[in-house]
Chains A and B, each alone.
Chain A
Amino acid sequence: MNVQAKTWVSIGPLTEIPRQGARCVKNGDMSIAVFRTSQDQVFALEDKCPHKNGPLSQGIVHDGCVTCPLHNWVISLETGAAQGADVGQTATFEIKIKDGIVLLAL
């Protein structure tokens, strides 16, 4: 078996992401949505709603969650889990900020 160490990848300055908004990172074929909350926390989720693969990066960000633009599922930014009665989970990625630069663990 092949164990791959995670690497921290610099994706750009925090200020490039709008507050209560998101930007995408293209990682090969996968798109990863990087969210910034009104309190400047950052979270990274695969840009795919567990419901019908809606681009979560395009949703409205509120109180630690994002509402999917396609069918209004509410997804937790921290765990990727669907909230309320909906069931499903989106992959999450570790992320941190160092000196104003956002680093993503891939």
Chain B
Amino acid sequence: MSKKHLVIVGNGMAPGRMLEHLFEVTDAYDVTIFNAEPRVNYDRIMLSPVLSGEKTYADIIIHGEGWYEEHGITLHQGEKITEIHRNERKVLSEAGREVAYDKLVIATGSNPFIIPLPGHDLPGVLAYRDLDDTGAMIDASDKGGRAVVIGGGLLGLEAAAGLKQRGMEVTVIHLMPTLMERQLDTAAGYLLQRELEGRGIEVLCEANTKQILGKDRVEGVELADGRVIDASLVVMAVGIRPNVQLAQEAGLEINRGIVTDATMKTSDPNIYSVGECVEVGGLVYGLVAPLYRMAKVAADHLAGASEMAFAHAETPTKLKVTGCDLYSVGDFAEGDGREDIVLRDAMRGTYKRVILKDNKIIGAVLYGDVADGGWYNELLKSGEDISEMRETLIFGQAYQGGAGADPLAAVANLADDAEICGCNGITKGTIMAAIQAKGLTTLADVRAHTKASASCGTCTGLVENVMALTLGDAFQLPASEGMCPCTPHSHGHVRRLIKAKGLKSIPAVMQALEWTTPEGCAKCRPALNYYLVADWPGVYVDDQQSRFINERVHANIQKDGTYSVVPRMFGGITTPDELRAIADVADKYEIPTVKVTGGQRIDLLGVKKEDLIPVWADLNAAGMISGAAYAKGLRTVKTCVGSDWCRFGTQDSTGLGIKLEHYLWGAWTPAKLKLAVSGCPRNCAESTCKDIGIVCVDSGYEVLYGGAAGLHIQGTTKLGTVPSEEDVIEVVGALTQYYRETGFYLERIYKWADRLGYDHIREVILDDLDQRKAYNARFAYAQSFAQVDPWAEFVSGKDAHEFNPINIRKLEAAE
């Protein structure tokens, strides 16, 4: 019986592997391969080491010429198939060759996706897909200069690392906020970015490419925000598209890829498909492991009747960049009933996260320490119930010591001279000896006697473990004093460490301080955002999604979901024009309630969210800005009429109030900040129950602070008396800044002062002139970034998504 004829379109890794399997079980076929690339089958996964110079083309060949001869395969290199005639079971090549088949396998792979930007067809713009691309990149890198890589996914980063290793300057442009967002969570993406930046690769996230510049060849890249980056090479690595053209023209069923059943058969029973061009079970694949499984299934079915079926399995992702260890597998998105176990080690820069559902592992993300990746993947695949080893799961396989593994084992196994507290150089032995010799039972005692965990405090957990080990049952872990359940660190610790370690983003804080959740909660995120805003003016970019709604949309949400709008009236002074504009707005937008507030301004209540922007535009046009009546920040400066009108007034309290409000507006503070200026001790502006109050007297100005008139009622305490308005402004600026730098989020100024001590605050802010000037200077510097009217920004189009529904459906009236 003559052999059947098998024709394969494409000569990549999947059909290569398929043939290996096929030849193992049968020699029933004569095989002909058409390959558009003029090469034998090579390992595409290894293109990155070729680019970086760690390997050569010869190293990555899978099937040499000899292999094709040995198996009697006819290989047409560099010859594309242009048509499939399914009725006649024939293929036609571009060279005019006609070949008949009994079975056909389409393995056309995928094409790199090229964003059709202006300039994308200039010489010097490359994809990163095959050996030709790699060769072109190597040639370009010999000339030096800067390469811009568009796309911060797996391929893009491998290209970037390789080009850097070849001596080019490299910038990565990535549309999303974190790198490799499909394989990594935010925390691991941050660590990866830090590692790449440490190697001198510039990483620009949330950057949108507008066009590629150049006349005869590429000269640079322009971003949507106007930035221009010079470049002699641009690599686009933004994704791949299954190459379905040939199959489509042949009339096979196509969706995202060539649709096959679980036996890899297409809609034509004589045609199979394998590789990146395939869509099976509704999914397309780009990693090699599932492609090899497709190859095995297809080979089995080509060989004869078979039960084998392709089944989806999670495939781990690894980055092939030497020294960047990351591993991710499975599902690490959020969802109900899912639990995270997170272990961060700030010293070693590692991050481990295992995602559980119903006591089974459904995903893992590892950075820095990937040794246990395979083990977690095994547990994921087997679906084993992990409740027995839950306590120690995150430490890895080495800590699974059979039944009832001890969570303290890691600490117990440390030698006595192992350092526990890095800041103070305190060893495990020293702590244990002190506990025993002095009968210490609390963390505070241990801190006092040994200094362990008394500085930065990151080792607190370790010290507690040593205590538990030494004291046994006598030691009870203290209730957490952490700022929220995401961290054992208190607000004070967090604030100190942000400065001490130079942490400038929320992910940086969460990693360095070993947060136990992937992305924090509604308690810690707003607090961290405030601390970073206050500590790094002009550097930190406010994270809107970590702000409460009122601060995000600069209006106060009301119980029915509408908003209230309060324009600023400096010092409580307004004009007929402003009042007319407010009245017009109230009429035009049918605002149901107009109320005079306790802070001497006017509140428009019941504004619909979609009306906010037009309301602000109208108020802006009349010269008014946001009154920040929603802010953990400066609210109002209330005044009396003072010496301008009042027969008792000693100074111009109204004028001073206006000056203060002009100086302070826009400032973010730990909690809301309300001021008042009274023109005489009769105190008509109620200065003595404000956060900061000024009372004018004949000889000057009394500066008071720490009042409260809410749930808690408390009179102010006097900071001191100063002679001039300039002094008042300087002292208030310094006091506000000291509060901004040391206050805990949501801590009003009176609580802050109780905690720090009124005497201490007076020494720093009033008595020590140098410190006063330094604090005030820092405040003025921060204000240079903070005094931007948020209403005007929104009116000019910023964050428009906040204010409009994405979609409105009008329902047809039902019959």
Contacts and interface: CB of A to CB of B under 8 A. Distances in A.
A binds B: yes
Interface in B546-604: 546-550, 552-553, 557, 559-561
Interface in A52-79: 52-55, 58-65, 67, 69-70, 72, 74, 76-79
A34 to B, nearest CB: 7
A34 B806 contact: yes
A15 B699 CA distance: 61
Nearest to A48: B561
Contacts of A61: 545
B447 interface: no
B809 interface: yes
Given A17-B801, A39-B332, A69-B549, A62 B808 contact: no
B561 A25 contact: no
A17 to B, nearest CB: 7
A9 interface: yes
A12 interface: yes
B336 A64 contact: yes
Interface string B514-529: 0001111110011000
Contacts of B522: 59-60, 62, 67, 72, 74
Interface residues of A, number: 46
A86 interface: no
Contacts of A55: 557, 561
B333 A41 contact: yes
Nearest to B518: A63
Residue among B545, B559, B806 with max Cβ neighbours from chain A (10 Å): B806
Nearest to B543: A20
Nearest to A106: B809
B221 to A, nearest CB: 20
A37 interface: yes
A81 B336 CA distance: 9
Contacts of B518: 63
Contacts of A62: 517, 519-522, 525
Contacts of B334: 37-39, 41, 63-65, 77
A37 B333 contact: yes
A27 B805 CA distance: 10
Main secondary structure of the interface of B (DSSP, over half): loop
B2 interface: no
Given A12-B806, A16-B806, A52-B559, A60 B525 contact: yes
Contacts of A23: 801, 805-806
A41 B363 CA distance: 15
Nearest to A27: B809
Contacts of B416: none
Given A18-B545, A25-B806, A60 B526 contact: yes
A21 B338 CA distance: 20
Contact of A40 (B181, B552, B810): B181
Contacts of B186: 38
B801 A60 contact: no
Interface string A1-43: 0000000010110001111110111111001001001111100
B559 A25 contact: no
B305 interface: no
B177 interface: yes
Contacts of B806: 11-12, 16-17, 23-25, 34, 102
The 7 A-B residue pairs whose C-beta atoms are closest, nearest first, are A64-B334, A78-B336, A67-B522, A28-B811, A23-B806, A20-B545, A58-B549
20 contacts: A9-B807, A12-B807, A19-B177, A20-B545, A21-B801, A28-B811, A34-B806, A38-B177, A39-B185, A40-B181, A41-B335, A53-B561, A60-B548, A62-B521, A62-B525, A63-B519, A63-B520, A69-B549, A77-B336, A78-B337
Interface of B: 177, 181, 185-186, 332-338, 340, 517-522, 525-526, 544-550, 552-553, 557, 559-561, 801, 805-811
Given A17-B801, A60-B547, 10 more contacts: A24-B805, A26-B805, A28-B810, A38-B186, A38-B519, A39-B181, A53-B560, A63-B518, A69-B549, A78-B337
